[in-house]
């Protein structure tokens, strides 16, 4: 579809695309081009420059954005982090729907159109639509794929550790954000996870399983965790903020909430080489909900340390790459 064929009609609702950026001009150019290439006609682009050494406005001048209805670049007075940049974009957005694009990710051309169509076809309380992504290295080689299975009323699924996906994969109805609130900037990690849980209290979720986002791992391994901040700040903060709500759903719900969060932290420790911490939190997960097979799998890998985990990770990546072209 081209932007001029009118399949969605002249009354296409405005979509605000928020792109937080800091210090990656070449990546930013690719991200903006992928917005410009969208088949959907009604897009407002908001580039939020988190005080980059090279102003993002200068980078924008090097990219043809004529196909985008409205383009605005706002620069923070100081570096405040990606969450603050996203919140700045949300405050400035005029769209009925808001989508996010990290500056080192890119979209396939039909991403916006497919998500808006899903909103139009869905129930009035549909608040979030997510799409699938593929992960590639700097040479464009595919390393894996991610899809969400979260559908409908997602509160319990997200309480128990269900995954929606990265910011670049979601589109959110602006009214849902008005009800749920902005991103919580006190979280150094799991900002998306915490926000999705709040959004789920005010609307349903839908998953468009097509691969429509490309996430790139650079030489610094961007797709990774800061495990220590997750352990020391995000984990206790998440428990403090949401455990009472989980307990209101019943004793089992509370235990599954603690188990899911602890399993996620344990896997983060496992992935980053903190094997003793991983064992500690995976044991907490098993204690709270002993029927979770993933917790036992990760615990076995953690007990073996790098001898078991690293070969298992390599095998998983190879299998994912081998099946990447499967329907």
Residue 97 region, left (φ>0) first, then alpha (ψ -120 to 50), else beta? beta
pLDDT of residue 137: 87
At residue 312 the predicted structure's pLDDT band, cuts being 50, 70 and 90, is: low
Higher pLDDT residue, 251 or 310? 251
- Shared domain for 140 and 86, answered yes or no, is yes
Tens of pLDDT, residues 87-118: 999 999 999 999 999 999 999 999 999 999 99
- Judge whether 196 and 204 are in contact, CB under 8 Å: no
Q: Is residue 176 in a domain?
A: yes
- Shared domain for 193 and 276, answered yes or no, is no
As given in the structure block, the two tokens for residue 82 are 């990606």
Cα distance between residue 142 and residue 135, in whole Å: 6
CA separation (Å) from 320 to 54, 141, 147, 279? 37, 12, 13, 26
Q: Which of 182, 216, 250 is the last residue of a domain?
A: 216
Q: Which ranges of the chain does DSSP label H, i.e. alpha helix?
A: 25-36, 56-60, 82-92, 111-121, 155-159, 174-180, 191-200, 227-229, 235-248, 251-271, 275-288, 293-304, 306-322
Number of structural domains found in the chain: 2
Tens of pLDDT, residues 4-32: 444 455 689 999 999 999 999 999 999 99
Cα distance between residue 148 and residue 55, in whole Å: 35
- Judge whether 282 and 262 are in contact, CB under 8 Å: yes
Tens of pLDDT, residues 169-178: 999 999 999 9
Cα distance between residue 146 and residue 135, in whole Å: 8
Q: Is residue 181 in a domain?
A: yes
Cα distance between residue 106 and residue 168, in whole Å: 8
Dihedral (Cα; 247, 166, 22, 271), 10-degree rounding: 80
Q: Distance from first CA to last CA of the chain, Å, rounded? A: 22
pTM: 0.91
Cα distance between residue 108 and residue 196, in whole Å: 23
- Shared domain for 200 and 287, answered yes or no, is no
Tell me the residue range of the domain where 296 lies: 227-322
CATH number for the domain that contains residue 19: 3.90.550.10
Tens of pLDDT, residues 44-55: 999 999 999 999
- Shared domain for 194 and 278, answered yes or no, is no
Q: Which of 216, 245, 268 is the last residue of a domain?
A: 216
Cα distance between residue 258 and residue 245, in whole Å: 12
Q: Is residue 189 in a domain?
A: yes
């Amino acid at each position: 579809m081209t932007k001029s064929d009118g399949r969605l009609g002249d009354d296409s609702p405005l979509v605000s695309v928020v792109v937080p950026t800091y210090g990656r001009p070449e990546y930013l150019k690719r991200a903006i081009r992928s917005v410009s290439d969208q088949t959907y006609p009604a897009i407002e682009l908001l580039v939020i420059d988190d005080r980059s050494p090279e102003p993002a406005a200068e980078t924008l001048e090097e990219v043809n954005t004529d196909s985008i209805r409205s383009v605005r670049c706002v620069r923070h007075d100081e570096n405040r982090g990606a969450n603050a940049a996203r919140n700045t974009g949300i405050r400035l957005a005029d769209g009925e729907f808001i989508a996010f694009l990290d500056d080192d990710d890119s979209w396939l051309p039909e991403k916006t159109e497919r998500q808006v169509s899903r909103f139009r076809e869905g129930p009035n309380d549909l608040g979030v639509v997510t799409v699938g992504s593929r992960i590639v290295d700097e040479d464009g080689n595919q390393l894996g794929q991610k899809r969400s299975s979260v559908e409908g009323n997602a509160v319990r699924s997200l309480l128990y550790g269900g995954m929606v996906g990265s910011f670049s994969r979601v589109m959110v109805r602006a009214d849902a954000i008005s009800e749920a609130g902005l991103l919580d900037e006190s979280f150094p990690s799991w900002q998306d996870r915490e926000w999705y849980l709040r959004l789920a209290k005010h609307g349903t979720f839908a998953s468009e399983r097509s691969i429509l986002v490309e996430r790139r791992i650079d030489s610094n391994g961007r797709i990774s965790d800061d495990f220590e901040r997750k352990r020391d700040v995000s984990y206790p903060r998440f428990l403090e903020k949401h455990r009472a709500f989980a307990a209101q759903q019943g004793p089992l719900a509370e235990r599954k909430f603690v188990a899911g969060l602890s399993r996620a932290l344990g896997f983060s420790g496992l992935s980053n080489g903190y094997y003793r911490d991983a064992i500690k939190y995976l044991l907490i997960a098993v204690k709270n909900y002993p029927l979770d097979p993933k917790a036992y799998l990760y615990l076995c890998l953690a007990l073996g340390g790098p001898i078991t985990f690293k070969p298992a990770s390599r095998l998983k990546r190879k299998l994912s790459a081998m099946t990447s072209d499967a329907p």
